[in-house]
Structure 1
Amino acid sequence: MKTTEPLRPDIARELITLAEQSAERRAQRVRNQLDAVQLGRGRHADHANAKVLRRILSDHDWPGRPLVGPDGAQAAWIIALHSDDEPDFQRAAAVLLRRAVQATDAPIQHWAHLHDRALINNGHDQVFGTQYLLGANGIELCALREPSTLDQRRAGVGLPPVAAVLEKMRHRFPPMRGDGDSPTVVLAGAA
C-alpha cells in the first residue's frame, strides 16, 4: 500500500509541533505540575497556536488529510480543541471541521469532540458527551443535552457508550487529593 504525501508537509510539521507542545502542557496541568506563571505561559501558547491555525484556516479551509496528512489533521483538531479562551474561534473551526468531515477529509469523532467543546465554552450543554470535568471529586460529564438519548447520538458519530469511556477515565484520573480547592480542568474524553 502506497502512502500519499500530504500536499503541504510544511504546514503538517508546524501543526504537529504545536500540538505536541500543547499536549505536554495539558498533561502537566492535569497532573497539577504548573505554577501560575507556567499556566499563564500555557494560555499564551494556546492563544498563539490558535492564531497560527486561524491563518491556516483562512488560507486553506480546514487542514484535512489531503492537505496535511492524518497526523497534521489530528494536530489541527487538538489545537482547535485547546483554544478554550477563544470560543468564537472554536465554533468557527467546528463549522469548517464539519465540512471536512462531509468531504471525508476528517474523522467525524474529531468534529463531535470539537462541537461539544465549542458548545461548553459558549455556555451551552454538550450533545455527544465528549467533555468531562476533572476536579476534587474525580471525573464528571459536563452539562449534557438530552441525556436519555446520549448513547444513540454517540453511536451515530462512531463513539462508544459513555459508561465505557467514563470507566476508563475514572481509572486514569482518580479523584484529586488535597484541600478541595484544586482547579477544575475540562478534558476531552477518549474516543
Structure 2
Amino acid sequence: MRVFIFFLLFLTIPDCYAQKQSIDSLQIYQAVKGQLLTINQDDQQGRQLLDSISRKYGAKSNQVDSLWKAIHVADQVNLEKIKVIFRQYGWIGEDKVGVQASMTQFLVIQHSDVATQHQFLPIMRQAAKAKKADAGLLAMLEDRVALGERKMQIYGSQISLDPNGAYVMPLVDPDNVDKRRAEVGLGPLADYISRWHLKWDVNAYKAQLPELKKKHGIDN
C-alpha cells in the first residue's frame, strides 16, 4: 500500500506543478498587459490632441510646438519601458496580452529615432515570422527604416505632407507594389492612400519619382 501511495503522489505532483506554472504565467502576462496598455495610452494621448490644437492655434503655433516637445519626452520614456519588457520577455504576441497591448510594442518603436528602429527591426522580423507580430505592421517599420536610411520604401506605407498636399514617399518598383503589399496582408495602395484623398496613378508616379528621390536625398 505504501508503494502505491508513493507512486500516486509521484504522478500527481508534476500535474499540480504544471498547473501552478500556468497560473503564474497568466498572472505575469496580465501584469505586462496592464503596463503595455498604459504605455499605449501615454503614446497616443498627445497625438490625439494634435489635430484640435493645430486647428485652434495653427500648425506652426507655439502651442503645437510645445505639444510636440511633450510627445517626444513621452516617447523616450515609453521606449525605455519597452526595452525593459523586451529584455525580460522578448516580443510578446497578442495570444499573451491581446491585440492592442501587443501592438503597443510596434507603436513605441515606430515613434523612436531611425537608429533605434534599425536596432529593433530584426527583432520584429523574427516576431512576425513566429506569428507574434503583425506582418503588415512590420512592413510599415521596414518602410520607415528604409526612408530613414535614405533608401526607397518597399510597401508605400509612408505618406508625406507638405504645403502642396500629400504624396507617397519614394517607392521602389511602383508597378509591383500591390503584389508586395498582398504578401504581407495589406490591401491595394490605391485604397490605402485614399485616406489622404490621393489617387494612385502608377505612370504619373513613376514620372514624378526622380523629383521625389531628389527631394528626400535618395541616390539609388
TM-score interval for Structure 1 and Structure 2 normalised by the shorter chain? 0.7 to 0.9
State the secondary structure of the residue aligned to 1:140: strand
The alignment partner of 2:154 has SS state of coil
Query: CA separation in 2, counterparts of 1:143 and 1:9?
Result: 41
CA contact (8 A) 2:50 2:64 kept: no
- Taking structure 1 as the reference length, the TM-score comes to 0.76
| 1:54 has 2:75 as partner | no
Give the equivalent residue in structure 2 for 1:145: 172
The amino acid across from 2:157 in the alignment is T
2:177 maps to amino acid: L
Please give the residue correspondences for 1:94-173 in structure 2 after superposition, counting only pairs within 5 Å: 94-170=121-197
Paired residue secondary structure (1:8): helix
**Secondary structure at 1:133's aligned position in 2?**
strand
Percent of aligned positions that are identical: 24
**Alpha carbons of 1:20 and 1:169: their partners in 2 closer, same or farther (altered >3 Å)?**
farther
Task: Judging by fraction of residues, say which structure has more helix.
Answer: 2
Aligned 1:171-190 pairs, distance under 5 A: none
Q: State the distance in 2 between where 1:32 and 1:142 align.
A: 26
Work out whether residues 6 and 67 of structure 1, in 8 Å CA contact, stay in contact via their aligned partners in 2. no
Contact between 2:50 and 2:67, CA under 8 Å: does it hold in 1? no
Offset of residue 30 of structure 1: 4.9
CA distance in 2, matches of 1:7, 1:66: 14
Q: Structure 2 unaligned runs (5+)? A: 1-25, 55-62, 199-220
Matched, 1:24 2:24: no
Structure 1 alignment gaps of length 5 or more: 172-191
Aligned mates of 2:115, 2:73 — CA distance in 1: 17
- Between the aligned partners of 2:149 and 2:178, the Cα distance in structure 1 is 23
Runs of 4+ with deviation above 6 angstroms: none
